[in-house]
Each structure stands twice: as structure tokens, then as C-alpha cells.
Amino acid sequence: MNYLIPFLILITIVVFIHEYGHYYFARKFGVGVTDFSIGFGKEIFGWNDKSGTRWKFCLIPLGGYVKFFGDRNVFSQAEQEEVIKKYSESDQKKLFILKPLYQRAIIVAAGPLANYLLAILIFTFIFMYNGKDITPSIITKVQERSPAYEAGLKANDKIYSINNKKIESIFEISTIIASSTKNTIEITVIRNSNKINFLVTPKTIKDKDALGNNVNKKIIGIQLSPANNEFEKRKLGITKSFIYSLKEIWFVSITSLKYLGSMIMGNADVSQLGGPIKIAKITGQVAEYGIIPFLNIMAYISVSLGLINLFPIPMLDGGHLMFYFFEKILGRPLTQKTQEFFFRIGLSVLIFLMFFVTFNDIKDLALF
């Protein structure tokens, strides 16, 4: 229960924001909304608002949806004429499929963009009221015969950048090294006021992360410590907080895309992929450290949800945007048969990923 409650709070907020993005622009463009659901399956409780939308919470809380008036499939474009004949002229004005292409695209894209907006607001709040760590990343020790030692790094080197990303906090080092998809890492240090570049090949070991979870960890053999064991943190103004929020979201998004590319090429460590069980476990562990760490992981989950939904996979928002792109090029929607073919492919991909991450979750719990 210590893990479940924080996870349910997090996933409910993130999913609600995502679906509200769809709902807000649907209502703005006059589309009828019959259902706003958090979760799937049997309804636990709900209510109807004055516009006729049923707001409800369902038994399986792993997602949600917004259902538009008259749609057998929320974003279906197939067989429009057959659908239109079933409705009066006034009801036709509420049909999603009759809205201009740009409005449909905005409604679909609004879900992922709402997730990005939530992350921006959270990161901005954290940087303004909790502050951003600015502790210099100075190497205090280099282990003998380690990758860093072999590359030529020395104690008292100040790490300036890793893979061309400027380092602004000592806490960024391990994250950037761990998320690197390259065999070698380019590290730029400041030594005697001069910038020097090194290529370091990290090695992977089995270790535990800060929360005690088993991970495959990339190391280069350096030790970092703040001067006098004191970390430096500075509260930022709203403009700088906003800028740093955008930088953080950009870093997370680009790193995720690079990892996906490496996974497709067969070079990534897929054992670290996790599903709902792993997310719930980490969420519960982080929540024990307070509201700021909890908000921090909520922002990262929100970015991930927004990014994944933009992938051009049918059944995801990105898949519908892909269909709209073809509609714009062809001057007409794809045929029902073509859409169904792509939907089958998308469903197969999603089912495979679901089973894969679930297997990793179970394996991580040491049940195998």
C-alpha cells in the first residue's frame, strides 16, 4: 500500500492532464464529449455534467480516454457518409469527424502537449521554490586501471561537459553517463584553466541505484565530492526556472529517443525497461523522501507519457496524427481497410511491449 497509493495519485494526475488536453480543445471546437474516463473497465463511480459528459473513474487505473459524440472509434475517419446520415443537422455540428483537419490535429496533439505543460510547471515550481543544485563537479579521485584512469582523467579536474552537454551540477554526472547510448563518452574537463577533451569507454557492472533497486550501472571510475561536503543550491527566478525546465524536458526527450534508436539497432540494455509494477515501486520509494522528489518523478513520467503518445503508432495519438498527415497529402482520409491494417500492426506492437515490460517487472521482483 505504501507504493500503491503514491502510484495511483501520480498516474491519476498525469492521465487526467493528458485527457483534459483532448477534452479542452474538443469542447473549444464544439465537439461533443460523451465520456471522460480515468481508467478502463467497470465504472466505480462518476457523474454527469450539464453538457452531458459522463466523468468517471474505472476499475483498472492504468490510463484513460475521452470519447467523442457519435464516434465508434474516437478518431475514426472511415465511412463518414454512413455515419453522418444517422444524425440530425444540429448533432452533426458536434461530430469530431466533420471538423476541419487542423482542429482534429490540435485536439489529438493536445493530450501529449498537456503532459509537457504539466512537466514545465512542475520543474519551474521546483527550481523557483526548492532551488537548483549548482555544486561544481570536481573529480576528487580516479581509481587506478579504471576507464577514466586509462583515458587520462586526473583528480582536481572539473568536468565541464559530457557528450557536448554542459554540466551544471554534480548530480548530473551519473545520469548522463548512465543514459549515454554510445560505446565511448566524450568528457571535457577544465585543468589549469584549459579545456581538455577525453574519450572514455565506460564499463557496465551490476549494482544498486540510490533507492536500492538492482540495475546495470555504467561506471568510469571517478569519485566526485563537493568542497567541504557542502552542496550548493540556488533558487531561481521565474524566467530562469522556465528556461531550465525546457532544457530538462529537451534532455529527457532526446535521451529517450536515442535510447529507442539504440534499442531498435539492438545496442541498448532492454533489461532496464519497466512497466506499471516497476513505476509503482519507484514512485512509492521516491514518495518516502517527500513532496519535491515525488513531484520530480511525476514530471518525468508526464514527459515520458507525452513523448510515447507522439510516436507514429496506430492507437496512439501520434498514429492518428500520422493518418491526418496522409489525409492532408492525399486530400482524403485513408480507407477503412488501410486504417484497420495499421491498427492491427499498432495493436501487435503495443501488446508485445506490454508483455515485455511486464516480464521485466516480474523478473525485477525476483519471482523468476
> What is the set of active-site residues?
19
Instruction: Work out the angle at residue 76's Cα, subtended by the Cα atoms of residues 72 and 79, and round it to the nearest 5 degrees.
Output: 85
Could you give the CA distance from residue 115 to residue 112 in angstroms, rounded to a whole number? 5
Residue of 33, 1, 36 lying closest to 17 (CA atoms): 36
For residue 84, count CB atoms less than 10 angstroms from its CB and return exposed for 0-12, middle for 13-18, buried for 19 or more: middle
Half-sphere exposure of 249 (CA within 13 A, CB side): 25
Packing angle, helices 238-264 and 291-309, rounded to 10: 50
Query: Would you say 226 and 134 are in contact if contact means Cβ atoms under 8 Å apart?
Result: no
Residue of 311, 310, 307, 315 lying closest to 348 (CA atoms): 315
Distances (CA, A) of 59 to 62, 79, 208: 9, 33, 34
